[in-house]
Structure 1
Amino acid sequence: MKIVLQKLKIPMILLLMGTFLLNSTPSFAQSLEGKWNIAKMNTQNSTVIQFTKDSLIFYEFDKRRSATSYHIKDNRLAVGAGSIPIGGEFEFVNPQRLRLKPEQAKSPIDFVRLKPTTTTLTRAEIAQLNFEMTYQNRTLPLNFDGEEDESGQTIQLEIIDSTYFISFYRKDRRMGAMPIEQVTTKKIMVYGFPEKPFVVSGERVISNGNTIKTNKAASANADVAAIAEMIIGKWFYNHIEGWPSLSDCTKKTFFKFKEDFSLQTKPYAENPSNGNCIAGSSINGTYELLGTDQIKVTQNDKTETWKIQSLTKTKLAVERDGSALTLTKK
């Protein structure tokens, strides 16, 4: 009986060892599946790749460009003929960072796996916030207001699926995009940097670099404080009572309410001779909340009071100069 049991144990042990080896063999195809963004701050092409079970899809950011077949053998990636030449060796720097070593490239290319951004904020709410982060001793301001910095670059908030991005533009051309890991009203975390640290956090600031302020009216009660928070941002013309439908050009006109209680107005109007849309000079001023239903606006040494008729996160209706003006936030 002892001999029989021993004979039975040997194949059982071999079977268990085989099962263990099969389960411990890494499944590269499975771990590759998903969307990956190129880990560069500035690039001529904002490349996103997606591995499915049987295809490799190439995107110019969110626009699909091409697809091909691929297969994995050991640590090598082989792609179909005529595709972007990224075939070659690869390795995982970490579970969320893929390093490709294409046979036709001089240096490796890193990609980061896209994951949903953790936030309770809407896209419109995030776009109204300003942050500052430091990467390799460089201070990077993150302002989504579309204004150019000294180098002529602008920053926009964009999204792929459930992942928000900081996108860098120059002359309306996207020069790169970096995914946001997490964002709150006080902090932002961005990943996908080309070199360590791969994840960088930033703190919220206002336009003059000071800490966030509240005026006396906003601190008086919670209702006014909530309105003060909602009104911050860029509000565009939508409808003026008694006027015909506004043109697309006129709807570019906006009021920008800032956290430091400064106000910028930017008018747009069509040239009647040729129909071109012309931007007027910016008008700077200040604003103040008077309770929960009035905004005191001062510009060009002139002060007027707007009566708030309704306010949501994306729509503001006020009465000024005897007529109703409806604005929308973008």
Structure 2
Amino acid sequence: MPISTKLDYTLAAQKIAFAPFEFQAAKAMIETGILRYIRKNKWSSISQITENLKLTEYGVTVLIEAGIAMNIILEKDNRYALSKMGMFFVCDKMTELNFRFTDHVCYKGLEHLGESIRKGKPDGLMVFGKWTTIYEALADLPDNTRRSWFNFDHFYSDQAFPEALPIVFKCSPKNILDIGGNTGRWAIECLRYSDTVKVVIADHEGQLKDAESNLRKENLLERASFYPTDFLKGIQKLPKGFDIIWMSQFLCCFSEEEIQNILHVAKGSLGKNSRLFILDTFLDKQKNPVAEYILRMTSLYFTCFANGNSKVYHSNTIINCIKKAGLAVKKETNHIGLGHTLLECINPD
């Protein structure tokens, strides 16, 4: 509902002021089973919920009352049901993964967002240990934190890969350099898509161990190899001789200056007929305000946890970096998956 009156603005401001209360109330209603119970048992009473979930009447009452204020629970004659918005917390995969990412990865550390802004460093990461970036910490994060990070990351890219594959393989590549290949999901998709293509994954050593393990499980290790490097420490060269260089959700992990350097180095690895493909999400290329909102909030994760100097960019920012690196965009394909853009780049020299 659009905000139009002073009271509307006041309520919207209070919802931000009490946002942690809303989040924790939703978490408690999920973990106690209240939301799932009233979804299956529409228009239940407090006493029914209390008896079936073995909770106190007081505890159920305060959570139900909060849920009403949050518009996720409906009330009629002292009985309760899920609202349409409440259904998203028990039925919608994206909401579930975003919620867990916020809870397990970001919630505690976001207290240090202001410090991260002032220092240009991901100070929120200190809640997990002494690391300079989250990428070097991934292998050692608590299990639920690590799982929620990867689930969040994979959910969005997984939706885009099926549409990107035919575009990338249109030129029948024999070999692909997967820069920032993470746990090997794109490499696995490529090796499944083609019986002959070979893939080299370039990434931090910790991620490469996961990638190797995942490729082994899929019996695809024979056509895969690995190039350990830490892009956040700067790179001077990359291996050459590839038909395709691939970067998926990768450049958003770096500052503009770092992006230009990475693209400049990548240019040196491109052959005459090679292609560089960049798959990423851009603020100005989203189909709806939901996607744009998620991306704008995700930028704060990069600030507070990832590295302290990157974000989700506008497309023009990345295209300008591409041009400054001496490359050219041959084709732009928007609205891939849930909101990705695929940039096909060439070396015009």
TM-score by length of 2: 0.27
| Greater helix content | 2
Which has the higher Rg, Structure 1 or Structure 2?
1
| Greater strand content | 1
